[in-house]
Structure 1
Amino acid sequence: MAERRRAGFAVPLRNQEFRALWIAEMLSIGGDQVARVALSLLVFNETSSAALTALTYALTFIPSVLGGFLLSGLADRYPRRAVLVVTDVARAILAAAMALPGLPLPALWACVAVLSAAAGPFKAAQSALLPQVLGREGFPAGLALRQFTGQIAQVVAFGSGGLVLTLIEPHLGMLVNAATFVLSAVIVLKGVSSRPISRATSEHEESKPKASASIRTWFLLYGLVLLVGVYVVPEGVAVPYGHALGVSAFGIGLLLAADPLGSALGAWLTTRFRLPVTPLAALLFAMVAGLPLIACFFEPGVVASIMLWAVSGAVSTAFLIQVQTIVVDLVPDAKRGGVMGRMSTCLHCSQGIAILGGGLAAQQFGPFKAVAAAGAVAVGAAVMISVLWMLARSRLRAGSERGSANEDARDHQSLLAIDEPSSQRTDCLDGPPAENIPTTASTGGPPGDASASSMQVRASEVVDEATGDTERIWNVTRWKLWSLPRRVIAFVLAVEIAAVVLTVMLDGFTSVNRADLVRFGVLVVLGLLAAEVTRAVEQMRRRFSDTPHVNMSSVWTLAAALLVTPGLAAVTAIVLYGHMWWRSWRRVSGMCLYRVLFSASSVVVSCCSAIAMARWLPSVGALGTIDDAALLGLVAVVACYWLVNSLLVAGVIALSPGRRSIGALVGSWSENSLEFATLCVGVLVALLTIWHPLALLFVMLPLYVLARSVLVRQLEAAATTDRKTGLLNAETWKTLAENELAKARHHRAPVGVLMIDVDKFKTVNDTYGHLAGDIVLREIAQTIVDNVRSYDISARFGGEEFVVLLPNADTSVSVDVADRVCAAVREMKLDGDLADLHLSVSIGVAAYPAAGEDLNDVLVAADNVLFAAKDAGRDRVRSLIPGPRRTASAEVD
């Protein structure tokens, strides 16, 4: 993921203003830690009360939370250097006051509370000044240096504070704290230039609030910060964790030091390599930081635990630095102080809450499961936030939401014919789409799971890997993988590494016996036999569809996860996918080898998750006897397998170029139901293998029929669907319309027809090109679907013409629907080069039986009034029967 090496901490340290801010911060940290030790000793010496001592110590934290929320805005209302100097001077006076002998305890507490609250605006002003001082390029390195030295400064300050207070009285320790604040104020005053109050006056600054003003976007930004707190759970449960491992106090100390040391290492590494600074890239780091904690579920030894915690600390620190850089990019300077101050406060609050929750979980379930649960929460939350972020970004780009969340549109009959995605869909592991072709729910969805995620590129992108060029396959530097965006490459490689790591970790707890080998051999042989039997069908599906799809391999891989060791289950997945690639996919255009590797790795990770779930549920351990608990456990294993697969595929789709809807990430119901069907068969295969292996032969024919039924569905979709728009084609629409008209004659019900023509569409093609014209057609098609009724039948009639059949709709109802469509198209906003394009449609409305007794008569009538709408000036609705005037731009004749 690194683009190029950077110069480390030397870059920010060359900046005089940054050095002043950095030294002032280190002095403040040191003074605060000495003050905490001194206050604790002071109160305990005078009261001998542990409770009052703890209360005093808590007052050094709690008011800073309130100060962060309430006073951070001062960093935006007043010059930031002045805020730093004033808060330092005020804290110096308060610290000196606390050094007075005989100060009443309530007065001491009041001084402590005010001093702590003053830290809020100080940190906010300092965080907001850093981007101004270092610039956008140097800001991440400055953050990394602060993180690195901050971790060290806290440890050194606590130790030196205790040493200093063995030589002097606690009262004098407070004077040391006051002196650090005075020295900090002097350094800031001398070393940092005075800057006026920031105002969002430039076009650049005015544009930033548009990206950050959305409530959803603010929620996502704070969600990123709150996520950081989960990674400190290991520190909170280090003592019970160490006791569970049977280590000494020294070992517990090493566990406690693992996360800070990893954090310092992660901060240093971020200065050496340039990391992508995008929300999705940051969330990828958040996911990776949680994976080492999940591995603690398997109770690794103390050395392995230290390494896992250190890796998590390093990656989570990189994540935190990325988040703060993203905030700088999104938030205008005029508001940056308040935002960054409150986010820093959120970070500390989330850490406290996470540690408390981790402690309760460790008490209830044990420290290993508590740490693993924290990692799982981090990974799951990162996935959820990434989905929400993409939705927010999509809506910001579109400018407005045009009914994409309308549930009725999912039931629209035109969608029944497009279970398979359009050929225009950007594939989930592909490069950029053809000139900003967006992906919408109407153009199809991704696979339901990663066992189905053998992913392909568009047919035009034929590479040597797909044709079996051995030289190309073994020349790693020429793989098409490296042409993908860096975030996609990182995700693909992370999944493959995770597959290896999880398999090794899980397999270390098991030994292979003769029964495992026999079951492994049976599953592999039958899996290969099933693949050979369905090979012709699979080849046809792959040649027919250039999109990810569900295959039957999960039948055998899930059964392997339930029956054999993790290592053998991984080998099962690799053998089956390798065979499918060699026999069925190798000659298919765009079926690159790295896609097969990603698919196989995803399946291995899913198998490992299913194995972990089965081990966690004792009722699933022995499949020879099935009771109610075992059945529920099997349901949980199937759900776990499917969920992990879905998340992996959703992750790679989300990171790929192009906008993604929830439907594109989750997949269609038909794909998910097919995957659940194969998983259920996999459970039956596992049970039959134990009860009577010969009975597995009865599974082969249903699998073959299931595979053929999927191919038939694809063929039906191709025969009935217009590939550019995802709507029905004209012939299919006419068939359905004739059937609907026959029903209307029988029941004496009206039927409306809308003929829709895109105004000046030739101009769009001539000006922007035919690819842009395809985008316009697809967007208008989706707008029509969103604005007609859920049971209306929409189709592309030809060229730039669309047609809609409205059952049980007379002319008046049909005109209402047409008005809605016309207005929605008029308000459409497109992205990119088409942002300035203003679209409109003319609509002709006719209804049975008023316009005629058969479909052709109604179509001719609607077409005639469509020409009348064109002649009247376009962008309006005309109907056969006169009606009331609607609007100036949408008349009804």
Structure 2
Amino acid sequence: MSIPVAERTTYREVFSAPGFAALFATSTLTVLGISLQILAFSVVVFEATGSSTWSSAAFAAGFLPGVVGGLLLPSLADRWPARPLIVAGSEVRLLLGLLLAVLAARSSVAAGIVVVALGALLHPLVSAAQSALLLRLLEGDRYVLGRSSFTVTSMVAQLAGLAVGGLVLQALGTFAVLVLAAGMHGVAVLVGVLGLPSIPPSGLREAWSPGETLRGYRELFGSRPIRSLLLLWWTPFALLAGVESLAVSYAGHAGAGGLATAALMGATPFGAMVGTFVVGRVCRPATREWLVPVLVVVLGASLLPLAAAPGPWAAALLMTVAGAGLAFEVGGQAAFRDALPPGRQALGFGLLGLGMMTGQGLGPLLAGPLADLSSPGVASAVMGLLVLLAAPVLLAPRR
């Protein structure tokens, strides 16, 4: 007797879907390339200027322009075929990556920041195209598991990018890391050309205008089911991003060594990776939905003991548990997909990504001053308390 997809799905079934493995590979290669690029260019800028401000600006240039791109471009992904958009995005990343390597070798800091910003500006369009294609490739619970695999791999790729980049940086220098990053995008081009299916768009046909994305966002956010799911995603992610931004500061206050500092920096993404994999692979759909409020509470509550300034390894364990709480988002993926109107799927995921990027910027802006007024541990605990205080409001629509 066969068991319906909604009841039992495996990663093997997901990866056997035509086109999914290629989409997964292009996304992973892109994340790896971006992680390597940001790491190496931040080092280049600091070595050239000796300024933490310039180095931070180089890091921010890899993310903040994506907010602008996210406000204007994702609606195009509902009109244009996903395959050429994804391939073109990798081609642009390849060219910009090679140009950045040349500029970095000449210590052209300002021009390099512009190049990094251009890549970040276009990223929301490519990301929306990937999300739209994923919806066409996978159905039912296969979609939920496929979506969660992207989350897990994004965390793994970020950690691997930092690790590989650090080794290559130490052995061969920044130029080699930047060339390696460009090479990742070059491989993504080949994978996209050879493996991605050609599927026509399912969205609107009339002419596109720059204000269409904002109008579409306004309509989507006006839908109570969509709005409640977006706020449920955005708020804990933003507050936990504030905690992540304090990892180095916490390590400094605790007098942690290099290994403990690395553990603090990697604790949240590691916890998110493990939590998302377990919830996505082990739990049935109904269990994932039941776990949403439980995991939100786990996320907030596990940060409260940081107010007592435990040692760095204990703090890393608490932050790992908080990161695992981010797996609550797996339980909302099917509901968000089903709430999006036809022809607006890419736009919906563009709005989701826009809020996530904005939250990653606002969370640290809130946590940093709190840490200066008190301590990194107290500020992290306040972030957890805010998650718990917001939870009843965020979870109320589910009831």
Shared fold per TM-score greater than 0.5: yes
Aligned partner of 1:346 in structure 2 is: 355
Name the counterpart of 1:150.
154
What's the counterpart of residue 180 of structure 1? 184
Of 123, 140, 143 in structure 2, the residue corresponding to residue 139 of structure 1 is: 143
Determine whether 1:222 maps to 2:230: yes
Shift of 1:78: 0.6
Deviations 1:751-795 (A, max 9, x none): xxxxxxxxxxxxxxxxxxxxxxxxxxxxxxxxxxxxxxxxxxxxx
Output the aligned Cα RMSD: 3.1
Q: Deviations over 1:301-332 (max 9, x none)?
A: 5555333322221121x212233332212113
Q: Cα 1:80–1:243, aligned 2, differ >3 Å: closer, same or farther?
A: same
SS of equivalent residue, structure 1 residue 195: coil
Q: Say if 2:309 is the partner of 1:305.
A: no
Q: Deviations over 1:413-454 (max 9, x none)?
A: xxxxxxxxxxxxxxxxxxxxxxxxxxxxxxxxxxxxxxxxxx
Q: Structure 1 residue 5: deviation in Å? A: 8.6
Counterpart-to-counterpart distance in 2, 1:337 and 1:297:
41
What SS does structure 1 have at the residue aligned with 2:274? helix
- Quick one: which amino acid aligns to residue 162 of structure 2? F
Shift of the 52–354 alpha-carbon distance from structure 1 to 2, 3 Å rule, reads closer
1:277 and 1:224 map into 2 onto residues whose CA distance is 18
Change (3 A) 1:372 1:44: closer
Judging by fraction of residues, say which structure has more helix: 2
Equivalent runs, 1:161-560 vs 2, <5 Å: 161-168=165-172, 170-171=174-175, 173-199=177-203, 214-227=222-235, 228-242=237-251, 247-270=256-279, 271-276=281-286, 282-297=292-307, 300=310, 302=312, 304-316=314-326, 318-387=327-396, 389=397
Among 45, 58, 61, the residue aligned to 1:59:
61
1:97: which partner in 2?
Answer: 99
Q: Which amino acid aligns with 2:297?
A: M
Report Cα offsets for 1:668-700 as digits up to 9, x if no partner: xxxxxxxxxxxxxxxxxxxxxxxxxxxxxxxxx
CA contact (8 A) 1:6 1:273 kept: no
Summarize deviations over 1:167-200 as a string: whole Å, max 9, x none: 5464454343333222212212221211111148
Residues 362 and 5 of structure 1: CA distance in aligned 2, closer, same or farther (over 3 Å): farther
C-alpha separation in 1, matches of 2:315 and 2:199: 48
Q: Report what 2:212 is aligned to.
A: none
Choose between structure 1 and 2 for higher RCO, CA contacts under 8 A separated by at least 6 residues: 2
Relative to 1, partners in 2 of residues 1:118 and 1:151: Cα closer, same or farther, differing over 3 Å? Answer: same
Tell me the amino acid that sits aligned with residue 300 of structure 2. G
Supply the distance in 1 between the matched residues of 2:170 and 2:310 (Cα, whole angstroms).
Answer: 40
Say which SS state the counterpart of residue 58 (structure 2) adopts: helix
Equivalent-residue separation in structure 2 for 1:87 and 1:35 (angstroms): 16
2: CA distance between counterparts of 1:57 and 1:367? 21
For the 8 Å contact 2:82–2:129, the answer to whether it is kept is: yes
After superposition, the Cα gap between the structure-2 partners of 1:56 and 1:312, relative to the gap in structure 1 and judged at 3 Å, is closer
1:230–1:375: 8 Å Cα contact kept in structure 2? yes
Per the TM alignment, residue 233 of structure 1 is displaced from its structure 2 partner at its CA by 3.4
How far residue 224 of structure 1 moved from its aligned partner, in angstroms, is 1.6
CA offset digits 1:472-528 (Å, max 9, x no partner): xxxxxxxxxxxxxxxxxxxxxxxxxxxxxxxxxxxxxxxxxxxxxxxxxxxxxxxxx
Q: Which amino acid aligns with 1:185?
A: V
- Give the C-alpha shift of residue 341 in structure 1: 1.9
**What letter is aligned with 1:310?**
T
Measure the CA separation in 2 of the matches of 1:181 and 1:266.
28
Instruction: Write the deviation string for residues 554-582 of structure 1: whole angstroms up to 9, x where unpaired.
Output: xxxxxxxxxxxxxxxxxxxxxxxxxxxxx
Question: Which of residues 114, 118, 124 is equivalent to 2:118?
Answer: 114
Change (3 A) 1:289 1:170: closer
Q: In the alignment, what sits opposite 1:29?
A: 31
List per-residue Cα deviations over 1:226-281 (Å, max 9, x = no partner): 21221233322234444555654433433333222211210221211124389886
SS in 2 for 1:276: helix
Q: Which runs of 5+ in 1 are unaligned?
A: 202-208, 391-653, 655-893
CA distance in 1, matches of 2:256, 2:56: 28
**Would you say the 8 A contact 1:7–1:272 is kept in 2?**
no
Tell me if the contact between 1:6 and 1:272 (Cα under 8 Å) persists in the aligned partners. no
CA shift at 1:117, angstroms? 1.0
Residue 106 to residue 131, structure 1, CA distance change in 2 (3 Å): same
Structure 2 residue 130 is matched with structure 1 residue 126:
yes
Distance 1:30 1:72, change over 3 A: same
Q: Do the aligned partners of 2:260 and 2:313 also contact (CA within 8 Å) in 1?
A: no
Deviations along 1:393-427, one digit per CA (max 9) or x if unpaired, are xxxxxxxxxxxxxxxxxxxxxxxxxxxxxxxxxxx
What TM-score do you get using the length of structure 2 for normalisation? Answer: 0.83
TM score, norm. by length of structure 1: 0.39
In the alignment, is the contact (CA less than 8 A) between 2:78 and 2:345 conserved in 1?
A: yes
Other structure's SS at 2:202 match: coil
Which AA in structure 1 matches 2:40?
A
- Does the 8 A contact of 1:297 with 1:372 survive in 2? yes
Where does structure 2 lack aligned partners over 5 or more consecutive residues?
1-5, 206-216
Q: Which amino acid counterpart does residue 395 of structure 2 have in structure 1?
A: S
Matches within 5 A, 1:688-837: none
Measure how far apart 1:39 and its partner are. Answer: 2.2
Give the whole-Å Cα distance in 1 for the aligned partners of 2:83 and 2:345. Answer: 14
CA contact (8 A) 1:212 1:330 kept: no
Superposed CA deviations along residues 336-361 of structure 1, whole A, max 9, x for unmatched, are 11221221121122123222312222
- In 2, the alpha carbon distance for the partners of 1:260 and 1:289 equals 13
CA distance in 2: counterparts of 1:5 and 1:280, whole angstroms: 15
Structure 2 residue 158 is matched with structure 1 residue 159: no
In structure 1, C-alpha distance between the alignment counterparts of 2:231 and 2:110, rounded to whole Å: 37
Which has the larger Rg? 1
Deviates more, 1:36-45 or 1:134-143: 36-45
Cα distance 1:336–1:57, how it changes in 2: closer, same or farther (>3 A)?
same
Q: 2:320 corresponds to which letter in structure 1? A: A
Instruction: Output the CA distance in 2 between the equivalents of 1:277 and 1:184.
Output: 35
SS at match of 2:303: helix
d(CA) in 1 for partners of 2:123, 2:379:
32
Q: Are residues 1:69 and 2:50 paired?
A: no
Contact 2:44 2:107 in 1 (8 A): no
Is the contact made by 2:85 and 2:129 (CA closer than 8 Å) also made in structure 1? yes
- 1:587-618, CA deviations, whole angstroms, 9 ceiling, x for partnerless residues? xxxxxxxxxxxxxxxxxxxxxxxxxxxxxxxx
CA offsets 1:523-557 (integer angstroms, 9 cap, x no match):
xxxxxxxxxxxxxxxxxxxxxxxxxxxxxxxxxxx
Cα 1:42–1:315 shift into 2, 3 Å:
closer
User: C-alpha distance in 2, partners of 1:69/1:293?
Assistant: 32
What's the CA shift string for 1:374-396, capped at 9, x where partnerless?
12211221211233x26xxxxxx
Aligned residue number for residue 669 of structure 1: none
Q: Give the letter for the 1:96 counterpart.
A: L
- CA deviations over 1:117-138 (Å, ceiling 9, x no partner): 1111111111222222121211
